[in-house]
Amino acid sequence: MHYIITEKGTTAKKIAAILSNGKAKKKKIGGIDAHEFDEKVVIGLSGHVFRLDFPDSYNNWSKVDPYKLIDAKIVTVALKKDIVKTLGQIAKKADYITIATDYDREGELIGVEALNSIKKINPDLEVDRMRYSAITEKDIKDSFAARSEVDYNLAASAEARQIIDLVWGASLTRFVSLSANRLGEDFFSVGRVQSPTLALLVEKEKEIAKFVPRKYWELHAKLKTENGEIFDVTHKTGKFWERDEAEVAKARIEAAKSGFIRTLKTKLRVEKPPAPFDTTSFISAASAIGYTPKRLMAIAEGLYLGGLISYHRTDNTTYPDTLDLKALVQMFQKHKEFGKHAKLLLTKKELKPTAGKKKTTDHPPIHPVAETTKDKLENAEWKVYELVVRRFLATLSDAAKWEDTNVTAEIGDEPLTAKGRLLKEQGFLAIYPYQKKEELVIPQLKEDEKVDLEHIELVEKETKPPNRISQAGLIKKMADLGLGTKSTRHEIIGKLYDRTYVQGNPAKPTEKAVALMDSLEKYAALITKPEMTKTLELEMDGISEGKREKDDIVDDSRDMLRAAFKEMVANRDEIANSLKDASKDSKIVGTCPECGANLFWATSKRRKRFVGCTNYPTCSFSLPLPPASSGRLIVTEDKCDVHPTLFKLKIIKKGARPWDFGCPYCNFLAWKDKVKGEKNGEN
């Protein structure tokens, strides 16, 4: 029997339907859905079937020296025992296995994990690999017809990452958490990619905190032409750092009352269409229309599995020659939203796409692979699908052309400037509105034309602090610095939120995060710098290319980790003290309404959370909180309108939306009123 193993059940169903021309019959193998046709069976896994871990003897954080984890034995643990059992049944009947998981590092490893499980029972199997970038009839049938070898090097590079991340994450997290006496839900998480990523946010937050605003002044005026048309100008100086200088310039202009157009320069500017989407630019563009990286990748996953877009995890920004661009455009000829532009493109003698700087051979840039309509998708799905289609069509479109005009007027020997911008040819902007710029219309002017002063004002402003980094911006920085991969960067950012290191978007580090990074940068700088992680990523690329061995790279990473531990162990007390102080600060909820001391939140031995007063037992004020099982609790920067000395709380639990718990005092009073009302109702 020929078994085809996919990454997910939905993929298995689609591939079976395509390869069987709709004739596949559903069956169960050990409780797992499978699809059979022509002596072939397609079955879907559910992501990773196994995970790597330490033996149970290493589980007790308090009794195991974290340093020992560096060289501890690593074991494989079954994540889904029902699927492992099913793989065992397949092994007894199979004589041929085709791996059809997603073609990237993780997908290759998932396939090899399943294959290894099967080959333990049946080592003499024939094995090959399907590689596809879209779940369409053509892609699936072509990839099945052109099956190739399993890429064991690619799988080994993914396994190396798992081992390295496990060893680094577990040993560092335990060392730091034990040093700070922060166990349970309050532990300090440290990771090979996570920590240098968090360091970027903390560094930016420190820039913002250090920023000192500086006042400046701008001169804004309105001028009238000889034809009576009015247009806006500003003083050529831009920012006046001294008010007196601005006042002098203003007085000269007001005294003169009129002047002349001194220079008038007009030029044609060409705005090139955007490059095809890789994952990073896709995330950036989607962020501008309101989607976080995590949300976007979940939506894109659904569109990919639904056969509407190509594989959404790619570093490629150059369409391969094998991609039939004309056929893809033809799909949209009659489309209500895109038909007009698609027909326009098809009138061109040749479709010449734009190309970015990156060219890879695993997957093409993200593009549509099938046509659908707005009414067939959820609103969020449609917006992301529309973004992909419009970007694809834009990459095949002509450049936009602008007419830019720069004007300099002179009144009282003071130079005043104006800029005009007119869109002469829409080009790609006709289909891609996401970066469309507004036109700036100014009157038709000529040199030496007389202009009169209509109005002038001095506008006081001040410099602004640097902006925080958005999630999309952070992913771009991670890509530039070699932190993580196209498949993992959004997951790393998700962990920073789950572990209460950051909140909001743009991401703002919490006090807990700042304290952790301060301590690590001072006593274990290697962990917070991107260079170490980038080095390891490049070495893992070497594994996938067959130039390096997995075990050698893992050993290199352990040597780096030993060096980091040497520094941390020497400064254990300093690390402990700095993190303990931060722990106290991050738990301050506000000021006690009864005695004025600080209120803090804590967890009792029975796992019950509460707000208590630091002046206890002199002051017994306290408030109940949801139990620890409800999720991680963080103190926000927002203060209660009713109780302005108290901060609002938020509770975060993995897999659930954040719970804006709000003011603990307001919640307590509302609960009391509810209980009182229920009692009165009973009476």
Residues 161-212 have pLDDT tens digits of 999 999 999 999 999 988 888 776 678 899 999 999 999 999 999 999 999 9
Q: Are residues 198 and 233 in the same domain?
A: no
Please report the pLDDT score of residue 583 as a whole number: 64
Q: What is the pLDDT of residue 512?
A: 85
Other Cβ atoms closer than 10 A to 27: 12
Cα–Cα distance, 168 to 250 (Å, whole number): 63
How do residues 92-115 score in pLDDT, each as one tens digit?
Answer: 999 999 999 999 999 999 999 999
Kindly state whether residues 11 and 134 are assigned to the same domain: yes
What is the chain's alpha carbon radius of gyration, rounded to the nearest angstrom?
Answer: 31
Residue from 76, 90, 88 nearest 43 by CA: 90
**More confident: 616 or 416:** 416
602 domain residue, yes or no: yes
Report the CATH number that the domain containing residue 140 is assigned in CATH. 3.40.50.140
User: CA-CA-CA-CA torsion for 116, 122, 126, 127, nearest 10 degrees?
Assistant: -20
Say whether both 183 and 330 belong to one domain.
no
User: What amino acid occupies position 562?
Assistant: R
Q: What is the pLDDT of residues 248-270, one digit of tens each?
A: 999 999 999 999 999 999 999 99
- pLDDT reported for residue 361: 75
Last residue of a domain, one of 127, 150, 173: 150
CATH label of the domain that carries residue 174: 1.10.460.10
Answer yes or no: do 256 and 306 share one domain. no
- The three-state DSSP-derived secondary structure of 433-462 is HHHCCCCECCCCCCCCCEEEEEEEEEEEEE
Residue 497 falls inside a structural domain = no
Last residue of a domain, one of 150, 170, 195: 150
- Residue 235 pLDDT greater than 60, yes or no: yes
Q: What is the pTM of this model?
A: 0.86
Same domain, 13 and 146: yes
d(CA 203, CA 178): 25
Query: Token pair for residue 250?
Result: 């203003």
Measured from the Cβ of residue 193, the count of other Cβ atoms closer than 10 Å reads: 26
38 and 128 co-located in one domain: yes
The answer for 62, left when phi > 0, alpha when psi is -120 to 50, beta otherwise, is alpha
391 and 404 share one domain? no
If asked whether residues 269 and 289 sit together in one domain, one would say: no
72 found inside a domain: no
Last residue of a domain, one of 561, 580, 599: 580
Average model confidence (pLDDT) across the chain: 92
Q: Are 554 and 622 in the same domain?
A: no
- 128 in any annotated domain: yes
Rounded to whole angstroms, the Cα distance separating 11 from 307 reads 10
Length of the chain: 683
Please report whether residue 70 resides in a domain.
no
pLDDT digits (tens, 9 = 90+) for 426-478: 999 999 999 888 899 999 999 999 999 999 999 999 999 999 999 999 999 99
Return the pLDDT at 678. 67
- Residues 361, 391: one domain? yes
Q: What pLDDT, on the 0 to 100 scale, is given for residue 23?
A: 94
Do 434 and 574 sit in the same domain of this protein? no
My answer on whether 132 and 38 are in the same domain is yes
Q: Which of 311, 319, 432, 501 is catalytic?
A: 311
Residue 467 lies in a domain: no
Helix/strand/coil for 633: strand
Whose CA is closest to 557, among 534, 580, 573, 583? 534
For residues 598 and 588, what is the distance between their CA atoms, to the nearest angstrom?
7
**Owning domain of residue 253:** 215-273+400-462
Q: Number of structural domains, the chain?
A: 5
56 occurs within a structural domain: no
- Residue 311 is a catalytic residue: yes
244 within some domain: yes
